[in-house]
Structure 1
Amino acid sequence: MPGSAITDQPPVEPRVQDDWPRTIAVALTGASGIQYGLRLLQCLIDAGVRVYLLISQAGQVVLKMEAGIKVSAQPAEAERFFSQRLGAAPGQLRVFGRQQWTAPVASGSHPPEAMVICPCTTGTLASLAAGLSQDLIQRAADVVLKERRTLILVLRETPFTAIHLENMLRLARAGAVIMPANPGFYYQPRTVDELIDFMVARVLDHLRVPQNLLPRWGEQPTNGN
């Protein structure tokens, strides 16, 4: 898809802060459910976490289809767009190109604390299970696994084939957290946003990022039910 790829030129605007206490990588791939990833990004920024953002080519397509967001082909421009959209502080959000091998996430000497692929395609799942590093998303996930950091895969597909299930098992054994986008209904959600928040809350819990998106099991819901 000419003109749609995130290219390899690094952002050039000055950084005001580079000593964030926590850094988490987020990758958006081409599965349906991009709203999960967008909501996660917003919550991480609001929590004061530095975010390294990676977007696959198919992820760009889904951003436009499901959220009406057309991402620039230049990482610097995409970084400015998302920083403004999410209200990020200077230097809090960084966007890297898919072949930007000089990015921090490409090396085990500088891994993020955790990485979330949200949504995660079964194609990405297969590449990770095979140990491929054909782009920065795959390499970053491989680094997180080998460095024994937290890797969360928010799969959005149904039904699963035996191949999908075998790939999930292989990655779970390697240390990944397999978290399909299956929101619960016990708290009586009334809106799509509440269903999205259910999944994002579960991701944040596994990242140990404080959240109050929904009541805990056994607590009274806040919607009056």
Structure 2
Amino acid sequence: MWRLRLVVGVSGGSGIPYARAVLRALHDLRVETHLVVSSGAKRVMGAEGGPQLTDLTVHAAHVHDDRDLAASIASGSYRTDGMLVIPCSAGTLAKIAHGFADNLLSRAAHVTLKERRPLVLVLREDPLPRPTLQNMLAAHDAGATVMTASPGFYHAPKDVDELLHFVTARVLDQFGLETGGFRRWREDGS
């Protein structure tokens, strides 16, 4: 039934609507998802007044407690096709970049790197101070793909959902997944 198995981490960076959009798309694409939401992300949800935890969990096949370091996804012997963290806070980035696995989200990312599986970190933070830039490079050098939640505008988006869809499509590209309704640059050959 499932095409792929991906771990989806949601950390405390602002931008929870990006996580919801990605989870919806993965559900529609029949991707088995293992969701981990950090305590920081739960706090941000309340502050943003947007998607709540149930808006995320409804699209996930499995939901794990971030404190459960004995969960399936904490082990390299549990096979997945990769992991993404969206949004990825600067603090979570630092943990992942330096192998500090004190919660399930950072442990699952560590496992993903050590097993040489794709790991995509989607930062939603500006401006970027030097330590964050260094951590982005360290994560990249460890094998992660580091992206920013930075939508393009060449497709003339009409609303926020189209901006979210742009970022979702670019993130899913990293796993070879195609989401409908995404117009690529000069895809028509012009």
If the TM-score is normalised by the length of the shorter chain, which range does it land in?
over 0.9
Give the equivalent residue in structure 2 for 1:133: 101
Tell me if 1:55 matches 2:32: no
1:1-225 to 2 correspondences below 5 Å: 20-71=2-53, 82-83=57-58, 86=59, 93-219=61-187
Query: Post-superposition, which runs of at least 4 consecutive aligned residues in structure 1 deviate over 3 A?
Result: 67-71
Q: Distance in 2 between matches of 1:213 and 1:122?
A: 31
User: Any stretches of 5+ residues in structure 1 without a counterpart?
Assistant: 1-18, 72-77, 87-91, 221-225
Q: Is the 8 A contact 2:121 2:147 kept in 1?
A: yes
Return the offset for 1:162. 0.9
Return the offset for 1:69. 4.5
Q: Is the 8 A contact 1:201 1:213 kept in 2?
A: no
Q: Distance in 2 between matches of 1:190 and 1:203?
A: 20
Q: Is the 8 A contact 2:20 2:51 kept in 1?
A: no
Q: Distance in 2 between matches of 1:48 and 1:120?
A: 24
Q: Is the 8 A contact 2:122 2:148 kept in 1?
A: yes
Q: Distance in 1 between matches of 2:187 and 2:51?
A: 36
Q: Is the 8 A contact 1:26 1:118 kept in 2?
A: yes
Q: Distance in 2 between matches of 1:101 and 1:175?
A: 22
CA offset digits 1:35-72 (Å, max 9, x no partner): 0010000000010010000000011122233254554x
Q: Is the 8 A contact 1:183 1:199 kept in 2?
A: yes
Return the offset for 1:30. 0.9
Aligned residues: 188
CA offset digits 1:147-174 (Å, max 9, x no partner): 0101000001111111111111111011
DSSP-derived class of the 2:148 partner? coil
For 1:104, the aligned partner's letter is S
Q: Distance in 2 between matches of 1:213 and 1:62?
A: 29
Q: Give the greater-gyration-radius structure (CA).
A: 1
For 2:148, the aligned partner's letter is P
TM-score, normalising length: structure 2: 0.92
For 2:85, the aligned partner's letter is I
TM-score, normalising length: structure 1: 0.78
For 1:202, the aligned partner's letter is R
DSSP-derived class of the 1:40 partner? helix
Q: Is the 8 A contact 2:94 2:135 kept in 1?
A: yes
Q: Is the 8 A contact 2:98 2:138 kept in 1?
A: no
User: Any stretches of 5+ residues in structure 2 without a counterpart?
Assistant: none
